[in-house]
Amino acid sequence: QVQLVESGGGLVQAGGSLSLSCAASGIFYTINGMGWYRQAPGKQRELVARVTSGGSTHYGDSVKGRFVISRGDAKNTVYLQLNSLRPEDTGVYYCNAVGYSDFTRPFDSWGQGTQVTVSS
Please determine, for residue 21, whether its predicted confidence score (pLDDT) is greater than 90. yes
pLDDT at 112: 97
* Rg from Cα positions in the chain: 14
pLDDT at 75: 81
Please determine, for residue 18, whether its predicted confidence score (pLDDT) is greater than 90. yes
Question: pLDDT for 70-107, tens place per residue?
Answer: 999 878 999 999 999 999 999 999 999 999 999 999 99
Residue type, 101: S
| C-beta separation of 41 from 28 below 8 A | no
Average pLDDT value for residue range 21-25: 96
pLDDT at 11: 98
Supply φ then ψ for residue 105, to 5 degrees: -115, 105
| C-beta separation of 31 from 91 below 8 A | no
| C-beta separation of 83 from 26 below 8 A | no
How does residue 1 score in pLDDT terms, banded at 50, 70 and 90? Answer: confident
Average pLDDT value for residue range 4-10: 97
